[in-house]
Amino acid sequence: MSAVREKVRRLEQYFAFDDATADRVVEQTVDKLLERETARLTELKTRLEHQLSEFEQQYAIKSPDFYARFERGELGDSADFVEWSATCAMVENLNKRLALLK
């Protein structure tokens, strides 16, 4: 991923030099990349939210309540709970990433 960061840094420097010279194709390409990444993350979030729903039905507790209790150490460390917790954290991370893209 450091190669991508380097390319983004170069683009930032290029546009900082003279934003007026930016080619419309470059702007459209960047827009498409952002749209593509947003769609990819949204699709992943949908799949993970489906997994959360399955846990919620199985254990009759909403994910935010589960996650708070799990983080306080109230629920033990069964494999399901560890997976559920990790899924909650991944959805939270995706929400943050999606907010940055919008």
Question: Which position has the token pair 């498409």?
Answer: 32
- Please tell me what DSSP assigns to residue 22: -
Count of structural domains, the chain: 1
Q: What is the pTM of this model?
A: 0.81
Percent of the chain with pLDDT strictly greater than 70: 95
Q: How confident is the model at residue 1 (pLDDT cuts 50, 70, 90)?
A: low
Residue 16 lies in a domain: no
- Mean pLDDT value across residues 26-33: 89
> Which has the closest alpha carbon to 52: 40, 69, 67?
67
**Domain membership flag for residue 17:** no
Average pLDDT score over residue span 53-67: 97
Single-letter code of the amino acid located at 91: V
Asked if the structure places residue 15 within a domain, the reply is no
Does 63 reside within a domain? yes
Domain hosting 72: range is 23-101
From 52, 82, 53, select the one nearest 70 (Cα to Cα).
82
d(CA 77, CA 96): 26
Distance separating alpha carbons of residues 64 and 88, to the nearest angstrom: 8
Separation between Cα atoms, residue 28 and residue 98, nearest integer Å: 19
In a domain, residue 57? The reply is: yes
With bands split at pLDDT 50, 70 and 90, how would you rate the model's confidence at 27? Answer: confident
